[in-house]
Amino acid sequence: PHSGKIAQEVERHVLSHLGEHLVSVDDQTLVEQLAAILRKEGLSVAVAESCTGGQIGQELTSVSGASHYFLEGVACYTNASKITRLGVKEETIVQYGAVSKETALEMAAGIRSMASASIGVSTTGIAGPGGGSKEKPVGTVFLGFSIGEHLFSRHLTLGCRTRDEIRRITTWTVLATLLWYLSGQQDSDLWE
């Protein structure tokens, strides 16, 4: 009995400090929670992935019944693919670069429109180990979200990590961002 009270106090302390970083206190994974919200709200998702190359789609479809909310995923790695497949303006890529907030937002809006989805999500970034510059080093990633009337982005600076780590962190950040947003955290200072 005494150890149960200590465990409850430790749990309360931990939960109070985690805030929006807490994903689950039960056995339900982040993806399962996200899937439950999408199904409950009748929302659909389409993803346009550059630096993650399909990992977000893989995670979203790892839950049974994903066909209720996941419409499609496109791995648009090249600039030409972003332009022809998603409708990203060539001028946007020329002016801001393929790895930019502006490109991520156009990718998200493009996949959402193309798939007639409730939600469009995109990733574009430099996973390395090469391809970085002083202005945009390896680990620079932009996420785009098109939800209802809202269009917003997140900029990640993931630093000197491995290619796999950058792709994995980006994937899970997208999923967590969707969960936070759909759970009513849209006023967070995470959004740009």
pTM of the predicted model as reported, rounded to 2 decimal places: 0.85
pLDDT tens digits, 50-83: 999 999 999 999 999 999 999 999 999 999 999 9
Residue 15 in this model has a pLDDT that exceeds 80: no
CA proximity to 61, closest of 95, 41, 77, 38: 38
Residue 20 in this model has a pLDDT that exceeds 60: no
Residue 17 in this model has a pLDDT that exceeds 90: no
Question: What percent of the chain clears pLDDT 90, i.e. is strictly above it?
Answer: 71
Tell me which H or E stretch contains 74.
Answer: strand 70-75
3-state secondary structure of 83: helix
**DSSP conformation letters of 140-160:** EEEEEEEETTEEEEEEEE--S
pLDDT tens digits, 131-183: 878 888 889 999 999 998 899 999 999 988 999 999 999 999 999 999 999 98
Arithmetic mean of pLDDT, 103-111? 98
pLDDT for the residue numbered 65: 94
Q: What pairing do the DSSP bridges indicate for beta strands 140-147 and 119-125?
A: antiparallel
Distance CA(29)–CA(32), nearest Å, equals: 5
